[in-house]
A and B are shown apart, each in its own frame.
Chain A
């Protein structure tokens, strides 16, 4: 990839423009992964978040306290910082302002206190979004992605074959034809697309798209069917069934049988 484009990708503001340009000219090269610093003293949460972010295609670094945050920011150059609000030592607002002062990274506060006052304190200190503990990973990824799409660190358009999904604009096209989806189908497609090429079980899809409530047994199956129908109106199958395991969204490969 040309050095200029790479450098442009690494600087926030230019990203969305360049992304759209590259998409237009059909560029399908790898997008540099967004970088996230996680500041969290609880080992269970920190470890799991790193795993989930890595899984979702982010590059992450975990700090167990805010002591060396400036050095980490200077060296890692994050696009976002996930900040535990109740750390021993320097408190949430202090660290948030620190991040603001040293970089243009987005800040998401993670707090156990869910009062309005606490959230307002966070926004006063300059955070972009918040998460309350305990949180669902899906929500963490969703909020982080939304914030990063705003700053341009994350491509807002996902491309799978001739399928273009623009999460922010809410536009889905297949070979240039717009595809009309319900809100639920859009959420389902987004999840499948974020995990493209990976086989997802019905349980995984159900819990990550709908949640952990009691749902009808065939809910996933029904929505997969209708989504598939709409997608295949304009092209070959992208949403495959892997018998015994689940489903996968995958650009058609000539040898693929489905």
Chain B
């Protein structure tokens, strides 16, 4: 697989801004505490309200009951007047906690019940004046129940002029109510305590998916890259967060993979290039050492030194290529101007003719306007010519044809050398590739002796201009064809 040196930038995801760089910060009060406290407070309020309401209702009800009882007994008393004796009346009305005091018109007092003694001496302010004797007027609601402390009393005037006082004590009731209140309070507190103890863990359980997300994130940071949340119910609010989280992880992992593979490519290239550099360095050293070690005649010395300088230049060219490669990887900065692709091809041919006078180089085509950095394009064409001459020898024929097609400026470079096998058509653009490993370095001719950095650089330059450089596959033996495309102007 060929490693393109200009990666397809459309698959590089947009960079994720680091947290805190953009806008405000996420408010993250403790969810669990908030929910627990809110629920507990609500519970506390409701328990308090319930307790209060219960106490009040109970109290009111018992109060009403007591009043009603007194009223009922008073009615009975009023109804029994004249039908039974005073003593019997008292006996009949007394009971169920109601004490009776009957003071007849003649002043005789009949009383029954434990509270009977409480009535003497205390007269209500609203003593009823002896009213007209009406026919068995029922005392009814017109007679108020008076509450003094624990005592409920009702004073009523009977139809025979007697004054009937009914007294009941709310003490027992009130004690009961107090006990109930205590139970309510204690019970309420216990409930709240229990709630406090239980709510926390309960809410925590409900929020466990969040803890899982955190755990997953931590393990991914630690290196377990493949983990995902995969929510069972993606439509819930936690589900949606989990889905978004997984998507983010995919994007980040994708970017990371790309970055890592780019780093790997670079590392491989660096180590390959370093190895390639060792050879000319070794060659230079060997040659100069030889001059040092032996007493060679001048011509021999000079020959060695020339070799050393050549190897040095080779190393320097490789370093230049590496620099260019690094610049291409970073995004080559170009200064494009108007140029004519045909003229640039002719310039490259002129340069190569100087050092390869026996080659048959020809340029065909009308002027093709492009917007490029001229020296860079000449570099591409010279490189293609170098390859052709290296493959086919000093008498190779190369035809360069320029044309415009479909809005693209094209330059086709066809040579009559041995050609490139279709299987290698993509591989030639790998860095530091040398096809035909069988051909040794000493056989290869030309200033670079077959170092494979020219084509990747040439393609990188073409792509930096918005175009491309490809090897057109053809049957072996019929020469190689390279096609350079650039945006037409």
Asked if A201 contacts B310 (CB within 8 A), the reply is no
A-binding segment of B124-132, B190-198, B299-307? B299-307
Asked whether B313 lies within 8 Å of A212 as measured between CB atoms, the reply is yes
The 6 nearest A-B residue pairs measured at CB:
A203-B302, A212-B310, A212-B309, A134-B316, A201-B302, A212-B313
Q: Is the CB of B306 within 8 A of A116?
A: no
Least CB distance, B318 to chain A, in whole angstroms? 13
Q: Are B306 and A207 in contact (CB under 8 A)?
A: yes
The reply to whether B447 and A213 contact each other, CB–CB distance below 8 Å, is yes
| A245 to B320 Cα, complex, angstroms | 37
Residues of B within 8 A of A212 (CB): 306, 309-310, 313
**A183: min CB distance to chain B, Å:** 12
Would you call A201 and B355 a contact (CB within 8 A)? no
Q: B298 contacts A116, CB within 8 Å?
A: no
Q: How many A-B residue pairs have CB under 8 A?
A: 24
Q: Please tell me if the beta carbons of A201 and B335 are within 8 angstroms of each other in the complex.
A: no
In the assembled complex, the Cα of A212 lies from the Cα of B284 at a distance in Å of: 14
Q: Which A-chain residue is minimally distant from B314 (CB atoms)?
A: A212
CB within 8 Å of B: which of A119-138?
A: 134
The residue from B309, B335, B355, B445 contacting A207, defined by CB atoms under 8 A apart? B309
Do A203 and B355 touch across chains, with their CB atoms under 8 A apart?
A: no
Bound complex: CA of A116 vs CA of B447, how far in Å? 25
CA distance A116 to B327 in the complex (A): 14
User: Does A204 sit at the interface, judged by CB under 8 A?
Assistant: yes
Q: Is the Cβ of B316 less than 8 Å from the Cβ of A203?
A: no
Question: Which residues on B sit within 8 Å (CB–CB) of A134?
Answer: 312-313, 316
Alpha-carbon gap, A134 to B280, bound state (A):
15
Residues of B within 8 A of A (CB): 298-299, 302-303, 306, 309-310, 312-313, 316, 320, 335, 355, 445, 447
Q: Are B310 and A245 in contact (CB under 8 A)?
A: no
Task: List residues of chain A with CB within 8 A of the CB of B298.
Answer: 201, 245
Across the interface, name the chain B residue whose C-beta is closest to A216: B357
Whether B309 contacts A204 by the Cβ 8 Å rule is no
B302 touches A213 (CB 8 A): no
A134 to B313, CA, bound (A): 8
**Contacts A134-B316, A213-B355, A245-B298: A203 and B335 contacting too (C-beta < 8 A)?**
no
Bound Cα distance A168, B98 (Å):
145
Query: Which among A114, A116, A203 has the greatest number of chain B C-beta atoms within 10 A?
Result: A203
24 inter-chain pairs at a CB distance below 8 angstroms, sorted by A residue, are A114-B320, A116-B335, A134-B312, A134-B313, A134-B316, A201-B298, A201-B299, A201-B302, A203-B299, A203-B302, A203-B303, A203-B306, A204-B302, A207-B306, A207-B309, A212-B306, A212-B309, A212-B310, A212-B313, A213-B355, A213-B447, A214-B445, A214-B447, A245-B298
Distance A201 CA – B298 CA, assembled complex (angstroms): 9
* CB closest residue in chain A, given B302: A203
A3-25 interface (Cβ within 8 A of B): none
Cα separation A245 to B309 with both chains bound (whole Å): 21
Which residues of A sit under 8 angstroms from B310, Cβ to Cβ?
Answer: 212
Q: Which of A170-217 contact B (CB under 8 A)?
A: 201, 203-204, 207, 212-214
Chain A's closest residue to B303 (CB) is: A203
Report the separation of the CA atoms of residues A204 and B301 in the bound assembly, to the nearest whole angstrom. 11
Report the bound CA distance from A178 to B406 in whole Å: 57
**Complex interface: chain A residues within 8 A of B309 (CB):** 207, 212
Closest-CB distance, B444 to chain A (whole angstroms): 12
Bound CA–CA A110/B335 (angstroms) = 24
For the complex, give the distance between the alpha carbons of A207 and B303 in Å: 11
Report B-chain residues with C-beta under 8 Å of the C-beta of A114. 320
Chain B residues contacting A207 (CB-CB under 8 Å) are 306, 309
A170 to B320, CA, bound (A): 34
Q: Within the assembled complex, what's the spacing in Å between the Cα atoms of A212 and B311?
A: 10
Q: Chain A residues near B447 (CB, 8 Å)?
A: 213-214
- The interface residues of chain A lying within 8 Å CB-to-CB of B312 are 134
CB distance from A73 to the nearest CB of B (A): 32
Set of chain B residues within 8 Å of A245, measured between Cβ atoms: 298
Q: Mark A240-258, 1 if CB is under 8 A from B, else 0.
A: 0000010000000000000
By a CB distance below 8 angstroms, the chain A residues around B355 are 213
Chain B min CB distance to A68 (Å):
32
Highest count of chain B CB atoms <10 Å: which of A116, A204, A207, A212: A212
Residues of the B chain whose Cβ atoms lie less than 8 Å from the Cβ of A201: 298-299, 302
- How long is the Cα–Cα vector from A134 to B312 in the complex, in angstroms? 9
Closest-by-CB residue of B relative to A134 is B316
Residues on A with beta carbons closer than 8 Å to the beta carbon of B306:
203, 207, 212
Bound-state Cα–Cα, A201 to B355, Å: 23
With A and B bound together, what is the CA distance between A213 and B355 in angstroms? 9
Q: How far is the CB of A195 from chain B (nearest CB, A)?
A: 15
Residue of A nearest to B313 (CB): A212
What is the CB-to-nearest-CB distance from B359 to chain A, in angstroms, rounded to a whole number? 14
